Amino acid sequence: MKITMIGTGYVGLVTGTCLAEVGNDVLCFDVDARKIAILDEGGVPIHEPGLATLIERNVVAGRLRFTTDAAAAVAHGALQFIAVGTPPDEDGSADMQYVLAAAREIGRRMTEFKIVVDKSTVPVGTADRVRAAIGEELRARGAATGFAVVSNPEFLKEGAAVDDFMKPDRIVVGADDERAIAAMRAVYAPFQRNHERVLVMDVRSAELTKYAANAMLATRISFMNELANLADALGADIEHVRQGIGSDPRIGWQFLYPGVGYGGSCFPKDVKALQHTATELGRPLRILNAVETANEAQKLRLVEKIVARLGENLAGRRFALWGLAFKPNTDDMRQAPSREIMAALVARGAGIVAYDPVAMLEAKRIYGDARWLAYAGSPMEAVAGADALVVVTEWKEFRSPDFEKIFRMLKMPLVFDGRNLYEPGLVRAAGLEYFSIGRR
Ligand SMILES: NC(=O)c1ccc[n+]([C@@H]2O[C@H](COP(=O)([O-])OP(=O)(O)OC[C@H]3O[C@@H](n4cnc5c(N)ncnc54)[C@H](O)[C@@H]3O)[C@@H](O)[C@H]2O)c1
């Protein structure tokens, strides 16, 4: 099949590449010429495990190409996937300008039947707006070309995006056009060879399903974070509690880890956007207000512990910070807790020496040459001479450090662990004072 991907970011690039991998002829389009130039030169603008090899293979095979040419993009695909960003607007609603610009681009240029697939996370009702925008553009030039609009929200996780796309739990297709449903089944047939994973539903339910999934996961995280704070106050250990409830199959193990709050490009904005929609309709989701408030507070939980130990004035202190990305296996720092933690420490006069296996380039892009932020070439280089170690992202390489070496290299023997990575007894045996989230 000929497929166009409009938007070549985390979702568009992974989706386009995986669709090429199973034999489709894919053209990825982006308005960001820098991204397309990197791809054309054989590079990859984001960090995503397994993606670079897959891109290279499909480019060499001639199934995957990149362009900034909108006319070529619209002409190419019978299916036009829209995978552009939907960042939060000032009022918390999803900013639809990029989705609608992509829709208009299609409407302005299409000359034959197209299936337009909303893959971006978009508020309920967006398919209607996309349909209206394309219709307006067609009418403006007196064209009567047919088209269908489908909602196909994406559930991949950054850091495991290729695997998630290749082996999806489910594929949600919201559509009412039989031709479009058949095409979507054909697109996804290679990804569900052992059992049917396509869930066909009406468009509005598909759009809501994506927000419902992220809101549910965010709720679990905030619930555990609040429970961990309570465990702190009660002298209980949240790790035991987590195991005690996770073993219940009705609850399950996923997304029960307390920490420094959720971040990233999806949960914060999707929770806000769903709240906004619900409030506008007079059906506020009270539970999500609590989820968000709890998360905002949680991002500073580790800083509270630092201040409780070292005092409000951190002037002259230097903190080794392990992890900048909002989670492991990605370079994405959008809404990352590391950013708020660093800001809170710096506001109290501290400096930071950070180490992250892949996100330091992104941090340099965000912070430029900020004087309060230095980068280390390894985790131990960050620790050398710092006042304390602060662990923010649970990268694998942080999981089993040499605590005795850390003790020797730190000025003060303090470890603040925002991800409960370590066995407290083991850390303390090395002479370190250990602070984590909700544990004895
Ligand atoms: N990142 C994730 O893990 C994830 C997972 C599921 C769903 N989503 C959703 O997918 C959508 C995309 O997210 P992302 O993380 O890939 O965003 P991103 O910012 O990485 O990529 C979006 C890309 O779209 C491009 N773009 C903007 N307007 C354009 C236009 N008119 N024409 C062509 N390209 C245009 C941008 O230049 C950018 O490269 C969002 O709605 C997001 O909520 C993201």
pLDDT digits (tens, 9 = 90+) for 70-86: 999 999 999 999 999 99
Our answer to whether residue 28 is catalytic in this structure is: no
Q: Is the pLDDT of residue 48 over 90?
A: yes
Structure tokens that stand for 356 in this block: 């992250």
Task: Please give the radius of gyration of the chain, using alpha carbons only, rounded to the nearest integer.
Answer: 24
Residue 139: C-alpha distances to residues 132, 133, 367 (Å): 10, 10, 46
pLDDT of residue 186: 97
Q: Say yes or no: CB of residue 183 within 6 Å of ligand 1.
A: no
Structure tokens that stand for 176 in this block: 């009412």
Give the model confidence (pLDDT) of 212-221 as tens digits: 999 999 999 9
Pocket probe for ligand 1: among 11, 32, 108, the residue whose CB has the most ligand atoms within 8 Å is 11
Q: Is the pLDDT of residue 90 over 90?
A: no
Share of residues in the chain with pLDDT > 70 (%): 100
* CA 263 to centroid of ligand 1, rounded, Å: 16
Closest-CA residue to 272 (of 215, 351, 355, 349): 215
Residue 243: C-alpha distances to residues 223, 251, 302, 440 (Å): 15, 11, 23, 15
Give the model confidence (pLDDT) of 316-349 as tens digits: 999 999 999 999 999 999 999 999 999 999 999 9
Q: Is the pLDDT of residue 195 over 90?
A: no
* CA 98 to centroid of ligand 1, rounded, Å: 9
**Is residue 206 a contact partner of residue 153, using CB atoms and an 8 Å limit?**
yes
Q: Among all chains, which residue has been given the structure tokens 């991204």?
A: 35
Q: Is the pLDDT of residue 222 over 90?
A: yes
At 436, the pLDDT band (50, 70, 90 cuts) reads very high
**Is residue 411 a contact partner of residue 430, using CB atoms and an 8 Å limit?**
no
**Region 34-43 average pLDDT:** 98
* CA 99 to centroid of ligand 1, rounded, Å: 9
pLDDT of residue 60: 98
Closest-CA residue to 17 (of 65, 49, 72, 75): 65
Q: Is the pLDDT of residue 194 over 90?
A: no
**Region 22-38 average pLDDT:** 98
Give the model confidence (pLDDT) of 341-370 as tens digits: 999 999 999 999 999 999 999 999 999 999
Q: How far is 297 from 304, CA to CA, in rounded Å? A: 10
**Is residue 113 a contact partner of residue 293, using CB atoms and an 8 Å limit?**
no
Q: Among all chains, which residue has been given the structure tokens 């996937």?
A: 81
* pTM for the predicted model, two decimal places: 0.95
Give the model confidence (pLDDT) of 106-162 as tens digits: 999 999 999 999 999 999 999 999 999 999 999 999 999 999 999 999 999 999 999
pLDDT of residue 440: 83
- Closest residue to atom 18 of ligand 1, CA basis: 9
pLDDT of residue 415: 98
